[in-house]
Structure 1
Amino acid sequence: MSVTERQAVRLDRTETGVLHVVIDNPPVNALSHRVRAGIGHALDVAHADHLVRAIVLRAEGRSFPAGADIAEFGLPPQPPLLPDLCARIESCPKPVVAAIHGSALGGGLELALAAHRRIADAQSRLGLPEVSLGLLPGAGGTQRTPRLIGAEQALRLMLSGRPVGAAEALAMGLVDRVVEDGLAAAAEAEALALAEAGTPIPTRDRREGMRDATAYQRAVAAARAALPKEGRLQAPARIIDCVEAALLLPFGQGLAFERAAFEDLLATSEAAALRHVFFAERALSRFPESGATPRPLRTIAVAGAAGVEQVLPLLQAGYSVILIEPAKSQLVAALELVAARQQELVTADKLTEAQRDADWVRLKPAMEFGVAARVEMVLLAAPEHLEKAAEATAPGTVLAHLGKGGGLDGPRGADVLGLTLGTLGPRLAEVIVAPGCAPETVATAVALVRHLGRSALRVAAPGGVVPRVLAAGRGAAAWLVERGMDAGELSAALQAEGLPGLVRAAPGRMPRRPQAEEALARCLSAMAAEGLRLIARGVVARPSDIDLAMILGAGFARWQGGPMHWAERRGLLILRRDLRAWSADSADLWQPPPLLDDLVSAGNGFQTFARPSAA
């Protein structure tokens, strides 16, 4: 049964008169139009059926709704809108109890806040993470939350975007009860008790969090004073304004104030960029081998003392590590370096002595490759180690070149790839896949990268997406500085747009100094052009992969969205026009790539690359 055929909301009636409204919209029960319409229909049914005494709102699968359907942002709204749906739930004359499990985030938590009671599974997590998308809770979250838990706690939830566990949510008053098991039964019992007690009190009339108006205003003032003096994101300030409005305005006016602020933020370029990055992170997990099952990893060999930088992260991730180095002096020096790094972490209280000792027990030195016969992966610090590692290990053992591409003729070619772990910062790694590499090999390498706490970017050639795109931007910046633009002025302009680390040149002279806006466009256009060349060569699958790589690996700001996002929002026709004009200054920097001509001629944007095939 397809997603469109399956009901997104199921109704289950009980003999006791409780209507269970069950959301079933995998994978995270996002509040899409189908779900909202289904809940609205359920409210109609409950209102019309005199046998229905109360309502339980719950979900199938792994979670209560984990938020709105972000894919609908920016599209024409389809009723019922979530704010209107929440208002209907809150005004329902029959009690509504939300039964929360998994993650109740964003719009999902706002839906629960509109109910008359909230029962949570002990393992559930609740939060309002909209600030991470440059937005604020737009379905009454800024108005209902402080009514229950006060301004200080509400602002902590909304400004940090971090969820809290069920126990903490209970302590602060966000939920009314926590259960270890039997969630649906507990919610049904609560709903019947409310029905016996009479008309339920809607959240809009709750004032527990507003009893001390002075403390409330003090929390608002403290949050406002803590805002960065110079920041591009408007959402934090607007969140504070809305929480203040919850105290100062009647509820209906507070909702209108919140909705206007939400729509203002939704239209900002920063929010659009953050949504783009959100989807880019999701897309990164879709690659041709993503359906393959990774092989189990317990013991990993690092071949060559030059790979010692990878030993400590592997140990801290829980792996057993064999460090192989034929030269005794280099092996000893590498072990001493690991010990010194561990001691630094202990001294800084980032590692306990017990953890250090446990990690050290899992580290084994060796001078011969024969020990690699009992490992599941070998990280090769030098190409000359490949042949010995292949001889020593069984087929299926992953052989990963550090920082270089894979590829090996013969029966072991399926086991060989490349990994870039050390040069792209602590958040990104590249998995370099050559033709003939087995899907399971790729999946295993990606699993390792993720276990190390990094995002894995699949590429088809060594050399690095981040260094290549950065080189294009730095080349443009150097050209500008050499022709008279002040290096400090250019650096400040680029950093103000979330693009650090591009200016590396000495000043020169040119007849006309470019303005900051043109300079920014030249640098970003050069990077976008290089990105298109990488895509055309098959190095990387999607423009969004390039943007995410620049954010994770080069420190570009999330709210900027990356050079490819910038180019698409500005317009590919404009990009081609500018590149054609500037190519006369330097064809190496600004020659329009043929792929850009193809996209413009076909009238296609970057959505062409949205969905790669998956095994």
Structure 2
Amino acid sequence: MTEINSVTTLVQEGDVAVLTLNSPPVNALSAKVREGLDLGFKQAIESDAEAIVLICDGRTFIAGADITEFGGQMAGPSLQDVQATMENSPKPVIAAIHGTALGGGLEVALCAHYRVAVPSAKVGLPEVNIGLLPGAGGTQRLPRIVGVQKALEMVTSGQHVPAQQALAMGLVDEVVEEGKLREGAIAFANKALAENKPLVKVRENNAKLEEAKGKPEIFAEFRKANARKFRGFQAPENNIKAVEAAVTTGSFDEGIAEERKLFMELMMGPQSAAQRYYFFAERQAQKIPDVPDDTPTRPIKKVGVLGAGTMGGGIAMNFANVGIPVTIVELKQDALDRGLSTIRKNYERSRGADPAQTEKRMSMLTGSLDRADLADCDLIIEAVFERMDIKKEVFAALDKIAKPGAILASNTSYLNVDEIASVTSRPQDVIGLHFFSPANVMKLLEVIRGEKTAKDVIATSMKLAKQIGKIAVLAGVCPGFIGNRMLSQRQREAQKLVMEGAMPWDIDRVLYDFGFPMGPFAMSDLAGLDIGWVKENSKGESIRDVLCEMDRRGQKTGAGYYDYDENRTAKPSPVTEKIINDFIAKSGRNPRKISDEEILERCVYPMINEGAKILEEGKAIRSSDIDVVWVNGYGWPVYRGGPMYYGDQIGTAKVLAKMKEFQGAMGDDFKPSALLEKLAADGKKFSDFKQG
């Protein structure tokens, strides 16, 4: 065996040279890896071997580029150098794939003459998820092998394609037995030699591009079909343009030049910078300084959920989905039946619903009217009405029922977890698990650390979140925690802006154009204006009261802030406009014209300021954690990184100046936080702030 460098070895088995890459954790294409591949292929070509197999040790094939090198000076041979060496090899090169061949990993594999994979392997080009496109020939080689339509779908979605599907698409040439990749790849290489198989260069195959030339509408139709999904993002459009270039130029080299131009446009732009920042922020959120990775966790083999309503049912589905049995407790049989029926319907309506899978998941759920049936659960989550007296009654009861060591969790979105824990004899076992609605869909889970919450309870909750497919962020106890605390700032300003003359649709439009899926008033109409509204107590004291009294309760009644047609398409309502103008007149004010810039600044800057207070008080570990909450829980556009990242891009000094300007004109709702003042004075960013 020859050691090429610290991450690459070369060994010859009969007529086949096997080049093995081992660069934990995911064999990313770092400078050392590129060097090893370049030297290794050159040595294999010069050896007396007749074929070359590229294989990786560890849990995966090359999982992509080394993202930490992006934007910096590349050392050693370029990826294109490695690809050229492979592609131009006079001996057949076979890429042996296990784990995931993603991004640059698949682009390397596409330069082999053949590809084999184990059944569990997946391949894909997910660069779009960090605001980029495949920059090493992916947009040029992929359509040549799978066709233009499939290439467009892959590069704009970042989907991971399973091995059997990749085989059907022609992306891999053979699927070999699981656990026997090395033997299978060598056997394939020997077969290629025996059959004198040609050295297939993907770059030279234009047949599928010629097919697409006769169908120029492919691109227009693809853009139209995905317009809503791609709204605001630059990367999907550049990916489409790069694939388009493969077809229109017909020349691989010209296509590569266009791909490079479009890649650099993204790489140097603000969107990819924000998306790369977010990529690391999401991973960083899992790191809790005083709860290290090796903190023991508690086994969670059975879960109890108190409440079978929208939240309780959605929470239960998360555990059933991964095979953890759930006992759901309700007060009345009809409520329990309704909850279980809704869960079943959710499963049946889900895309690609499989009746057998639905039955398997439903079998994980047991309904009960008796809280005592929660006694054997390892984790009990309450999803009852958001009132402190009800929460306390529930936790006092659970304290007597739950077994020692069981975790008691509240799904509260706002209330004090320490106060809830105070009615138990085991506050160390109490934690907040704030799921977002719908709980079976939304990715975010705010994990609320109480004053006495044990570290192993925190570690267990963070680990469990990952198991059920959630992105967890740790928060401290304060009203509304991270997300809702900041949201209240935006909601307040939105309501105030309406009373100054901005119409709800003006505010919604500005926030929608900024990148949110919808504005606050459209969101209220969707959720229902009557949430928390009590008809008997309503005295027409607010715009919402009057709308609800008129039975304008949102989309479900065909009218709310907006008017809706039979397809629930919204349009500005003259009824709402009159109600607003009447309220403004009663207040003695004169409505004024409010600019889009002021609407955006008044809705967003107080959120940033509140985020600074959350950091200052130690209720979030780092500013990037706040961004993860807002991207995953509230639809903040990921291409803007999150509110704190956005504040850093504007500059803390500019945010402070605007907050002071608003404070002078409108009062202490805009009082700057002490941390914002300090960071601005020191010329620093929110990302510079470290707890302690």
1:334 maps onto 2:352 in alignment: no
Q: Is the 8 A contact 2:304 2:326 kept in 1?
A: yes
Once the two structures are TM-superposed, the CA of residue 565 in structure 1 deviates from its matched residue by 1.6
SS of residue matched to 1:30:
coil
Change (3 A) 1:347 1:564: closer
SS of residue matched to 1:430:
strand
Q: Is the 8 A contact 1:342 1:356 kept in 2?
A: no
Change (3 A) 1:16 1:324: closer
SS of residue matched to 2:110:
helix
Distance in 2, Cα, partners of 1:33 & 1:379: 48
Report the AA paired with residue 501 of structure 1.
G
Distance in 1, Cα, partners of 2:519 & 2:128: 26
Report the AA paired with residue 383 of structure 1.
K
Once the two structures are TM-superposed, the CA of residue 513 in structure 1 deviates from its matched residue by 4.2
TM-score, with normalisation over the residues of structure 2? 0.78
Partner residue, 1:267? 268
Change (3 A) 1:23 1:608: farther
Determine which structure has greater relative contact order: mean sequence separation of CA pairs < 8 Å that are 6+ residues apart, divided by chain length.
1
Taking the TM superposition and a 5 Å limit, the aligned residue runs for 1:176-575 are 176-181=173-178, 182-191=180-189, 197=196, 200-210=199-209, 212=211, 214=213, 217=216, 219-228=218-227, 231-247=231-247, 248-288=249-289, 289=291, 291=293, 292-303=295-306, 308-309=312-313, 312-313=316-317, 316-317=320-321, 318-324=323-329, 330-342=331-343, 344-345=345-346, 348=349, 352=355, 355=358, 359=362, 362-367=365-370, 369=372, 371-380=373-382, 381=384, 382-403=391-412, 404=415, 405-406=417-418, 407-408=421-422, 412-421=426-435, 426-462=442-478, 463-499=480-516, 500-502=518-520, 506=580, 513-575=593-655
* Unmatched 5+ stretches in structure 2: 385-390, 525-542, 544-579
Once the two structures are TM-superposed, the CA of residue 461 in structure 1 deviates from its matched residue by 0.9
Once the two structures are TM-superposed, the CA of residue 440 in structure 1 deviates from its matched residue by 2.1
Change (3 A) 1:305 1:219: closer
SS of residue matched to 2:237:
helix
* Percent of residue pairs bearing the same amino acid type: 33
Change (3 A) 1:113 1:375: same
Once the two structures are TM-superposed, the CA of residue 178 in structure 1 deviates from its matched residue by 1.3
Q: 1:465-490, CA deviations, whole angstroms, 9 ceiling, x for partnerless residues? A: 22111111223333444333444223
Distance in 2, Cα, partners of 1:225 & 1:501: 23
Change (3 A) 1:511 1:376: closer
1:37 to 15, 21, 35: 35
Distance in 1, Cα, partners of 2:138 & 2:349: 40
Q: 1:499-540, CA deviations, whole angstroms, 9 ceiling, x for partnerless residues? A: 333458856567974432343233222111111111111111
Report the AA paired with residue 305 of structure 2.
V
RMSD: 3.3
Q: 1:211-268, CA deviations, whole angstroms, 9 ceiling, x for partnerless residues? A: 5354564544543453528832233332232223223242211111110011112223
Q: 1:266-310, CA deviations, whole angstroms, 9 ceiling, x for partnerless residues? A: 223222222233222222322243623432223223346788546
Report the AA paired with residue 133 of structure 1.
I
Q: Report how many aligned residue pairs link the two structures.
A: 601
Once the two structures are TM-superposed, the CA of residue 452 in structure 1 deviates from its matched residue by 4.1
1:597 to 672, 677, 690: 677
SS of residue matched to 2:172:
coil
SS of residue matched to 2:134:
coil
Once the two structures are TM-superposed, the CA of residue 108 in structure 1 deviates from its matched residue by 0.7
Q: Is the 8 A contact 2:622 2:687 kept in 1?
A: no
TM-score, with normalisation over the residues of structure 1? 0.87
Partner residue, 1:98? 95
1:10 maps onto 2:8 in alignment: yes
SS of residue matched to 2:665:
coil
Distance in 2, Cα, partners of 1:604 & 1:110: 39
Q: 1:7-62, CA deviations, whole angstroms, 9 ceiling, x for partnerless residues? A: 66211221535443322222222212232232223234345x44354432221111
Report the AA paired with residue 313 of structure 1.
M
Report the AA paired with residue 222 of structure 2.
A
Q: 1:77-132, CA deviations, whole angstroms, 9 ceiling, x for partnerless residues? A: 44433234323322233432211111111111001101121111121111112222
Distance in 1, Cα, partners of 2:493 & 2:145: 54
* Unmatched 5+ stretches in structure 1: 1-5
Change (3 A) 1:521 1:267: farther
Distance in 2, Cα, partners of 1:221 & 1:271: 24
